[in-house]
Structure 1
């Protein structure tokens, strides 16, 4: 007999498979009631079996109308995006090169103008107020992490 975690995982994967968008939104308490378990069991299943490494993106909204959204990520596309970001940015990046990349992503419609403005503010030399070459290394790490978070939808 399978354990409750396996049953919850299979249920969620079945829901994802049936979803035309490749994503589902669930309410933790409702799912816990469905499987007669505690809500922390749902958290456990999601945090261990629906990870980015396993091809899933999870976001949650807490509060009264809160939900957990699980979306299947196309790993080949994810790897391609990650490689492109790593190749373009490298271990360090100057502010002008970072701004150029952000501009290209905005023009391609991969990020919004607002997201671009946030990225530019975060990688600005005034924001990262340390001496070179450390500033360009920090800028590269920040930009790479933020872009991967933004582009993996």
Structure 2
């Protein structure tokens, strides 16, 4: 038997597949009622299964009339990859997110396994032996610079 989290994930993915633009907006409370669970379970599913490293952008607005917008990232060309990186990496990125991003780029064929391994090694916390938040800021700058170099062909 599948867990409630798995059912919620599958439900959201099915709705997303039916969406012409790959974007859905949900109400946490409505979805919690539908699955007979607490809203925090919805938050858990979204925060663990719809992450940037798994190819999703999540935007959330809390309060009355609040929503969660989930967008599947589709990268078609080097230009869209660069746009995506500059829009979503921002001024800082943690190691886990950077590794997920590199995994997505490798899976999409935008970088080779060797290139991904080199970038992963270069931005590792052991190499960037700096205190936070400086370490995450340097990591973001390095990733952006490497992506521009590799993808501006």
Q: Which category of TM-score, normalised to the shorter sequence, fits these structures?
A: 0.5 to 0.7
Q: RMSD of the TM alignment (CA)?
A: 3.2
Q: Tell me the residue number matched to 2:47.
A: 47
C-alpha distance in 2 between matches for 1:80 and 1:56:
14
> What are the superposed Cα offsets for residues 115-152 of structure 1, whole Å, 9 maximum, x if unpaired?
xxxxxxxxxxxxxxxxxxxxxx97x83xx5xxxxxxxx
Query: Does residue 19 of the first structure (1) align with residue 19 of the second (2)?
Result: yes
**Could you tell me the TM-score, scaled by structure 2's length?**
0.53
C-alpha distance in 2 between matches for 1:30 and 1:65:
11
Query: Does residue 80 of the first structure (1) align with residue 84 of the second (2)?
Result: no
Shift in Å, 1:50: 0.2
Structure 2 unmatched ranges of 5 or more: 87-136, 145-153
Contact 1:16-1:24 within 8 A present in 2 as well = yes
Q: Tell me the residue number matched to 1:62.
A: 62
8 and 81 in structure 1: CA distance in 2 versus 1, 3 angstrom threshold: same
Shift in Å, 1:62: 1.1
Q: Tell me the residue number matched to 1:37.
A: 37
Shift in Å, 1:74: 1.3
Aligned residues: 93
39 and 4 in structure 1: CA distance in 2 versus 1, 3 angstrom threshold: same
Structure 1 unmatched ranges of 5 or more: 86-136, 145-153
Q: Select the structure of larger CA radius of gyration.
A: 1
7 and 81 in structure 1: CA distance in 2 versus 1, 3 angstrom threshold: same
Contact 1:60-1:68 within 8 A present in 2 as well = yes
Shift in Å, 1:13: 0.1
SS at match of 1:70: strand
SS at match of 2:25: strand
